[in-house]
């Protein structure tokens, strides 16, 4: 019964689609997020442009629908959405819940440290207090930055725990 609540019938580009939250996660499992220019949705701990998500799930060309259509559709499926430099919003059946910039509802104050917590052990690229991308190796991160023409202010590996963050060795 709970799965039916995570399913939406939507008409995009004149075609009817039945979208499920699990289908979105499955379609993006091995997909690297593209750079965020303005709007984003949070799938797992990663931010994606809404048009990239809808295109991956439906197979439609991105020119066939608007960013706002894609964003609204994904919010109705329960995904958090936001706009770069503006507060993110998490769609709920009863309305909208505020969350921090570029975060899911689990990091309400939007501090960079809170946004990095789910990325423990991964390599991240940061620009203007914003996580551009995160991946498991520095080579993949640099490759992604080059592929998308992005420049980061800093690149580092997020410590796996508080002990590693302090630089102290275990006893």
Q: Classify residue 76 as exposed, middle or buried by CB count within 10 Å of its CB (0-12, 13-18, 19+).
A: middle
Rounded CA separation 110/29 (Å): 25
What pLDDT does residue 106 have? 38
Give the CA dihedral 7, 12, 15, 21, nearest 10 degrees. -20
Contact between 19 and 57 (Cβ < 8 Å): yes
Q: Classify residue 105 as exposed, middle or buried by CB count within 10 Å of its CB (0-12, 13-18, 19+).
A: middle
Tokens describing residue 59: 């197979």
At 148-161, the pLDDT tens digits run 888 988 899 888 87
At 48-75, the pLDDT tens digits run 999 999 999 999 999 999 999 999 999 9
Give the DSSP letter of residue 14: T
Rounded CA separation 144/147 (Å): 5
Question: Looking at the DSSP assignment, which residues form a beta bridge with residue 11?
Answer: 16
At 10-34, the pLDDT tens digits run 898 899 999 999 999 999 988 999 9
User: Largest Cα–Cα distance in the chain?
Assistant: 63
What pLDDT does residue 62 have? 94
Q: Classify residue 120 as exposed, middle or buried by CB count within 10 Å of its CB (0-12, 13-18, 19+).
A: middle
At 116-144, the pLDDT tens digits run 888 888 899 988 888 888 888 999 999 99
pTM, full prediction: 0.64
């Amino acid at each position: 019964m709970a799965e039916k609540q995570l399913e939406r019938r939507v008409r995009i580009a004149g075609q009817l689609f039945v979208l499920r939250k699990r289908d979105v996660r499955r379609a993006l499992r091995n997909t690297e997020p593209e750079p965020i220019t303005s709007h984003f949705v949070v799938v797992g701990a990663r931010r994606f442009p809404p048009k990239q998500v809808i295109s991956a799930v439906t197979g439609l060309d991105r020119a066939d629908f608007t960013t706002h259509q894609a964003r609204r559709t994904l919010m109705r499926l329960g995904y958090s959405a936001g706009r770069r430099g503006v507060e993110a919003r998490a769609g709920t059946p009863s309305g909208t819940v505020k969350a921090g910039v570029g975060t899911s509802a689990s990091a309400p104050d939007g501090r960079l440290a809170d946004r990095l917590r789910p990325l423990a052990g991964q390599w991240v690229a940061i620009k203007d207090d914003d996580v551009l991308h995160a991946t498991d190796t520095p080579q993949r991160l640099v490759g992604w930055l080059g592929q998308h023409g992005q420049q980061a202010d800093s690149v580092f590996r997020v410590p796996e725990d508080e002990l590693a963050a302090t630089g102290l060795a275990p006893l």
